[in-house]
Amino acid sequence: MARKYLISGGGTGGHIFPALAIANKIRKEEPDAQFLFIGADNKMEMQRVPEAGYPIEGLTIYGISRDFSWAGIKKNLKLPFVLSRAMRKAKSIIRDFQPDIAIGVGGFASGPALKAADRLGIPTLLQEQNSYPGITNKMLAPKAKRICVAYDGLEKYFPAEKIVKTGNPIRAEILNIQRKNPDAYKFFNFSPERKTVLVVGGSLGALTLNKTMAAHLDDFRKADIQLLWQTGEQFFRDIDSKLLAEQDDHIRIVPFIKNMNDAYSMADIIVSRAGALALAELAIVDVPTILVPFPYAAEDHQTYNARALSDKDAAILIADKDAQTQLIPQLMELAQDEARCARMSENLKPFAQPTAIDAIYKEIKEVVQKA
């Protein structure tokens, strides 16, 4: 009999892409398996999950507001009622679907979804991407059967006996990238004869990186370097039409890159935030990287993530506050230093965890079999 898998979480690519990687692995191993995702209404999973071929149900849910204006206070006062409604809807969805397991990857929707699953007697498993867990996974951990993590030291936040260090799941297409794929250059209308810099500020974009790139497009032309710049959807909607008009043979400005394997294939240097999933992918891609950590991440964990690489000369770390003055000079200097690029690429290899998805699938199977 085909198993049924409920997967919940989202809000950012850092949650959505691990969820899709897990679903794709299960589907590969169990072609008859049935899936249902639960996400948050108006968040990016409601678009990305159906694009990947999976059904999804949405909950009206949000997190605690840190805005101390009257609007923020009102939002927080409503939150218990919002959570109660989300729980009722999640229970109804789960009763109808009758999953064998509920898998949570973090994000607003996974809280009520996995709590509802547990109350209905469905075993739960968590996948935590970060060195500092989000509030949702910390809340769900006591009832979870298994917690798959990517970093050491999470016994501070989770029951030690439930933790299994697996690494972060990587999308299959990224595990099998063809470097310098001619089709990738054709897709983006770039030349394989020029160096290419890929700038990604996470799935939602990064204001500091966007401001920096917008001010320095001519530097790429002068250096004869191609720039593929993912802005994030909101920045792209607000972008000045004059900036978009600056696109030419050297510059591509896009809101979101669906085919990241093609973007990674072309990249000679990558500029990125330092989220856990981004670093897991970058280690697999094995390209010289400049990291600009998001400074407001919980416990400043992106800086710790980035420092783990920069301390081994596997990446260059630039603080967000310094990016607008230091990023372009250091990027242009790195582009001319072939020896350092080769050294950084070599130093990045030990951070790769290509078998993480297999380890996570093994844990999922064990939880289902013991249920």
pLDDT band for position 204 (cuts 50, 70, 90): low
Is the model's pLDDT at 165 over the cut of 90?
A: yes
Q: What percent of the chain has pLDDT over 90?
A: 75
Q: Are 129 and 211 in a shared domain?
A: no
Report d(CA 329, CA 320) in Å as an integer. 15
Average pLDDT over residues 137-162: 95
Beta bridge pairs of residue 164: 148
pLDDT at 331: 98
Q: What is the mean pLDDT of residues 225-238?
A: 90
Strands across the sheet with 269-272, in order? 251-254, 225-230, 195-200, 269-272, 289-291, 316-317
Which pair of tokens denotes residue 240?
């000045």
What confidence score (pLDDT) does residue 173 get?
84
The answer to whether residues 250 and 264 belong to one domain is yes
CA-based nearest residue to 230, from 249, 192, 202 = 202
Same domain, 148 and 253: no
Specify whether 179 is located in the same domain as 154: no
Q: 242-294 pLDDT, tens per residue? A: 788 788 999 999 999 989 999 999 999 999 999 998 999 999 999 999 999 99
Provide the CATH number for the domain around residue 76: 3.40.50.2000
Contact indicator for 371, 102 with CB cutoff of 8 Å = no
Candidates 58, 127, 177; CA nearest to 50 is: 58
Domains held by the chain: number: 2
**Segment among 13-27, 130-144, 192-206 with least mean pLDDT:** 192-206
Q: How confident is the model at residue 57 (pLDDT cuts 50, 70, 90)?
A: very high
Per-residue pLDDT tens for 93-116? 999 999 999 999 998 899 999 999
Same domain, 31 and 163: yes
User: Residue 182: pLDDT above 90?
Assistant: yes
267's CB contacts (< 8 A; 6+ apart) are 196, 197, 198, 228, 285, 287
pLDDT higher than threshold 80 for residue 66: no
Q: Which pair of structure tokens corresponds to residue 173?
A: 């297409």
Shared domain check, 317 and 306: yes
**Lowest-confidence region among 158-167, 170-179, 241-250, 289-298:** 241-250
Q: 3-state DSSP call for residue 53?
A: coil
Q: Does one domain contain both 131 and 193?
A: no
Structure tokens at 155: 């016994």
Read off the pLDDT of each residue in 332-353 and give the average, rounded to a whole number.
96
Rounded Cα distance between 247 and 236, Å, is 13
User: 316 and 237 share a domain?
Assistant: yes
CA end-to-end span of the chain? 15
- Asked if pLDDT for residue 203 goes beyond 70, the answer is no
Residues 214, 145 share a domain: no
**Residues 81 and 24 both lie in one domain:** yes
Considering the domain architecture, whether residues 347 and 358 belong to the same structural domain is answered as no
What is the Cα–Cα distance from 181 to 168, expressed in whole angstroms? 26
Percent of the chain with pLDDT over 70: 99
Q: For residues 323 and 208, state if they share a domain.
A: yes
Instruction: Count Cβ atoms below 10 Å from residue 330 Cβ, excluding itself.
Output: 16
Q: Which domain holds residue 92?
A: 4-170+354-370
Confidence of residue 76 (pLDDT cuts 50, 70, 90): confident
